């Protein structure tokens, strides 16, 4: 029977916007996808990447069947096998590893390829299975943990503003965030604020697309954001513009923090940040006298050695100015902490305590691992110190299983590859980290080939392992109903039936939303200011740069992390890898636009073509992330030079805190 069907779904990718989409299905085939025009945040628009999603599901290189390695590790040579053969071999190898080395020798390495609460990282898909097996605990700390902890130490939560309330703001500070590339739907609300008179400032080491559209751009030295925050607050105090009533009622540690602020006059902040003193003073005056002020700071700002402290100090600003009193005032980093689903990690299924392994430490912590199970991740393309990771993945004693949709660099090192469904082929529950909505994704079409969703893969593997724990076999709808059963007031009126019917539901929060107008979720109910001497931790590059260059690896406008890194049209648009170099740095090294260089340090190198540009400040170079190493010139991407080193909180990654030099690539 023919006919058209409209199926509501949601984008699963690692972006704050988590768009609602509508898939048109005709005769069992998805023929059209568009942003849902009825959803208030999506407003009918998808990004340049996701606009090609249906094309991506039908790509020629889609993995459609289980595979077993036939060639050397890294060769990408495989033979097709059946699901039963794959699961039997996996079950046999897992039992042997656990019997000989213990469950800690198994590392389930989960990434942010999907942020689903059923199939993806937000619900820790597969955790029940891994707990029954006794595998290591995986900590997904590669993305936002330093900033989240910094905010939580100040506010008691990483949650903050409803981004839609930027439409009510009068001063909008986009701090270390490129909105038009990474989460462009917020721009509509920024434009609404502008229509009401808001002034927009972009603080970023790079003059991004967003900075081009702002009223003002401050080119900050990487890793010095906390110093700028203190300098701005120094101007606020010099104007006697602090909100004394709010400080007295809703904060603690003010006198100590006030003394710290007084140690940061504009001139000192300017010297540390590289921003002219008059620009620091001018923005400080705006901050002092403009209510409400909204600060948007996202994950890039905290990917350096002092990243957690930077977010902690920035989060102190609306505590001083009292912006939390006002609709449209405060800080927006992530809305994830406003989501109160019933996520049961099922630690009761563990027979004993297990080892904790951190995602950012893959290169070093693989030493005692005998099975690496990678899903929704591409560590060869996305994780620090990729040369050491490559050497680890070449080990014959490391049994590597990869659940994937496409033949990534990581797949090339697998022993067994399991085909994974894409978002149009399975059901999932989502909540954006940049808005206040829950989203439902209904499968629009049947899975391609023999692909299975994550939950079904683990159900089948549990059966092959002979596991009898009943919860391992819960259906997706049972898992979704459990997620919605927390009883939290934010879920009032939100049912599974309603979500499936409507596709999206705003959580039960008021609009406008003033989360901290009357206090904070801290033990004292007050915002906790940093202690004196603890409000600024300089990054490694800002301390020790010398004549070397600080490498920034911003998000690409073409790829989303490494998703779409194999899409022919997006690869064509991205062209060859480039490295932006300030004219002064290029002249000092005798470089000109178009020359190919090695971007090199003690970890390794990658190749890129020079683009001399004043979009980066002196001492800073930039090359976007997201390319698959095997699709680059030279076979490496910027992670070849990124240190496996921790930020100050949560062992966060330091993608924007690495020193490099540029060397001309010899002509062959």
Q: Where would I find the H helices in 196-300?
A: 209-213, 225-238, 244-250, 254-262, 266-273, 277-289
- Token pair listed for 324: 């939390």
Calculate the alpha carbon distances from 269 to 125, 230, 254 in Å. Answer: 45, 7, 20
CA distance 579 to 624: 8
Check whether the bond before 497 is cis (ω within 30° of 0).
no
User: Does the structure show a pLDDT above 70 at 405?
Assistant: yes
pLDDT tens track for 636-658: 999 999 999 999 999 999 999 99
Q: Are 356 and 139 in contact (CB under 8 A)?
A: yes
pLDDT tens track for 597-630: 999 999 999 999 999 999 999 999 999 999 999 9
CA distance 507 to 433: 13
Measure the CA angle with vertex 439, ends 324 and 496; round to 5°.
115
Calculate the alpha carbon distances from 458 to 90, 446, 493 in Å. Answer: 12, 19, 31
pLDDT of residue 354: 97
> For residue 282, how many other CB atoms are within 10 A of its CB?
16
Measure the CA angle with vertex 232, ends 229 and 236; round to 5°.
130
Reference 405, options 13, 75, 19, 36; nearest CA is 13
Q: Could you tell me which residues come within 8 angstroms of residue 45 by beta carbon, excluding any fewer than 6 positions away?
A: 19, 35, 184, 185
Backbone angles phi, psi at 597, to 5 degrees: -130, 160
pLDDT tens track for 369-378: 999 999 999 9
CA distance 22 to 24: 7
- Per-residue pLDDT, averaged over 582-605, amounts to 97
> For residue 613, how many other CB atoms are within 10 A of its CB?
18
> For residue 387, how many other CB atoms are within 10 A of its CB?
14
Burial of residue 650 (CB within 10 Å: 0-12, 13-18, 19+) is buried
User: Does the structure show a pLDDT above 80 at 460?
Assistant: yes
Check whether the bond before 521 is cis (ω within 30° of 0).
no
Average pLDDT across the chain, whole number: 96
CA distance 588 to 546: 14
Residue whose entry in the numeric block shows the structure tokens 């003193």: 277
Max Cα separation, the chain? 75
Residue 121, SS3 per DSSP: coil
Backbone angles phi, psi at 356, to 5 degrees: -100, 130
Q: Are 67 and 78 in contact (CB under 8 A)?
A: yes
Per-residue confidence band for 667, with pLDDT thresholds at 50, 70 and 90: low
Pairing of strands 527-528, 578-581: unpaired
- Per-residue pLDDT, averaged over 395-408, amounts to 98
Name the packing angle between helices 225-238 and 307-321 (round to 10°): 20
Percent of the chain with pLDDT over 70: 99
pLDDT tens track for 308-335: 999 999 999 999 999 999 999 999 999 9
Query: Helix, strand, coil proportions of the chain in percent (round to 5)?
Result: 35, 20, 45
For the four alpha carbons of 519, 520, 521 and 527, in that order, the dihedral sign comes to negative
CA distance 510 to 533: 38
Q: Could you tell me which residues come within 8 angstroms of residue 187 by beta carbon, excluding any fewer than 6 positions away?
A: 179, 180, 210, 213
- Token pair listed for 606: 């990658």
- Token pair listed for 454: 């994550």
- Per-residue pLDDT, averaged over 559-581, amounts to 93
Per-residue confidence band for 345, with pLDDT thresholds at 50, 70 and 90: confident
Q: Are 19 and 37 in contact (CB under 8 A)?
A: no
pLDDT tens track for 502-550: 999 999 999 999 999 999 999 999 999 999 999 999 999 888 878 899 9
Per-residue confidence band for 96, with pLDDT thresholds at 50, 70 and 90: very high
pLDDT of residue 15: 96
CA distance 417 to 565: 19
Per-residue confidence band for 3, with pLDDT thresholds at 50, 70 and 90: confident
Residue 294, SS3 per DSSP: strand
User: Does the structure show a pLDDT above 60 at 668?
Assistant: no
Per-residue confidence band for 1, with pLDDT thresholds at 50, 70 and 90: very low
Residues recorded for the chain: 668
Residue 645, SS3 per DSSP: coil
**What is the DSSP code (8-state) at residue 123?**
T
């Amino acid at each position: 029977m023919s006919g058209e069907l409209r199926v509501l779904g949601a984008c699963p990718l690692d972006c704050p916007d988590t768009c609602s989409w509508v898939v048109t299905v005709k005769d069992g085939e998805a023929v059209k996808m568009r942003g849902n025009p009825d959803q208030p945040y999506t407003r009918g628009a998808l990004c340049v990447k996701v606009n090609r999603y249906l094309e991506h599901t039908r790509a020629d290189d889609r993995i459609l069947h289980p595979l077993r390695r036939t060639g050397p590790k890294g060769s990408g040579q495989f033979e097709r096998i059946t699901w039963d053969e794959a699961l039997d071999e996996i079950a046999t190898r897992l039992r042997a590893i656990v019997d000989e080395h213990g469950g800690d020798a198994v590392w389930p390495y989960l990434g942010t390829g999907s942020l689903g609460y059923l199939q993806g990282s937000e619900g820790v898909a597969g955790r029940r299975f891994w707990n029954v097996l006794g595998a290591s605990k995986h900590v997904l700390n590669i993305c936002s943990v330093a900033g989240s902890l910094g905010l939580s130490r100040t506010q008691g939560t990483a949650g903050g503003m409803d981004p839609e309330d930027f439409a009510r703001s009068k001063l909008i500070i986009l701090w270390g965030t490129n909105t038009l590339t990474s989460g462009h739907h917020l721009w509509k609300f920024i434009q609404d604020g502008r229509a009401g008179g808001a002034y927009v400032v972009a603080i970023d080491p790079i003059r991004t697309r967003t900075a081009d559209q702002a009223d003002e751009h401050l080119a900050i030295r990487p890793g010095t954001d906390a110093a700028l925050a203190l300098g701005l607050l120094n101007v606020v105090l010099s104007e006697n513009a602090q909100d004394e009533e709010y400080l007295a009622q809703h904060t603690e540690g003010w006198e100590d923090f006030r003394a710290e602020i007084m140690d940061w006059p504009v001139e000192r902040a300017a010297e540390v940040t590289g921003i002219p003193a008059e620009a620091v003073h001018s923005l400080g005056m705006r901050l002092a006298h403009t209510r409400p002020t909204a600060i948007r700071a996202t994950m890039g700002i905290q990917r350096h050695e002092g990243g957690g402290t930077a977010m902690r100090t920035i989060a102190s600003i609306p505590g001083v100015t009292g912006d939390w009193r006002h609709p449209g005032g405060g800080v927006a980093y992530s809305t994830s902490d406003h989501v109160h689903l019933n996520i049961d990690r099922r630690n009761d299924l563990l027979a004993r305590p297990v080892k904790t392994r951190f995602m950012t430490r893959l290169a070093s912590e693989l030493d005692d691992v005998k099975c690496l199970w990678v899903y929704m991740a591409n560590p060869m393309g996305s994780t620090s110190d990729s040369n050491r990771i490559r050497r680890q993945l070449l080990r014959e004693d490391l049994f590597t299983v990869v659940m994937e949709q496409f033949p990534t660099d990581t797949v090339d090192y697998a022993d067994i590859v399991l085909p994974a469904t894409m978002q149009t082929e399975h059901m999932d529950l989502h909540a954006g980290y940049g808005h206040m909505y829950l989203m439902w994704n209904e499968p629009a079409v049947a899975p391609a080939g023999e692909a299975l969703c994550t939950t079904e893969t683990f159900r089948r593997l549990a059966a092959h392992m002979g596991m009898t724990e009943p919860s391992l076999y819960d259906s997706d709808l049972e898992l979704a109903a459990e997620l919605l059963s927390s009883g939290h007031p934010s879920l009032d009126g939100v049912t599974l039936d309603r979500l499936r019917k409507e596709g999206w539901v705003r959580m039960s929060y008021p609009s406008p939303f003033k989360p901290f107008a009357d206090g904070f979720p801290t033990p004292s109910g007050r915002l906790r200011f940093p202690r004196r001497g603890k409000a600024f931790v300089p990054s490694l590059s800002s301390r020790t740069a010398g004549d070397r260059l600080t490498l920034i690896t911003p998000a690409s406008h073409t790829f989303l992390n490494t998703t779409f890194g194999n899409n022919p049209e997006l690869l064509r648009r991205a062209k060859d890898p480039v490295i932006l170099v300030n004219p002064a740095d290029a002249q000092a090294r005798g470089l000109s636009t178009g020359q190919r260089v090695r971007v090199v340090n003690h970890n390794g190198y990658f190749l890129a073509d020079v683009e001399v540009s004043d979009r980066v400040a002196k001492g800073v170079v930039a090359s976007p992330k997201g390319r698959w190493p095997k699709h680059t010139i030279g076979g490496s991407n910027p992670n070849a030079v990124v240190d496996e080193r921790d930020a100050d909180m949560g062992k966060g990654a330091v993608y924007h805190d690495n020193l490099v030099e540029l060397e001309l690539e010899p002509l062959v």
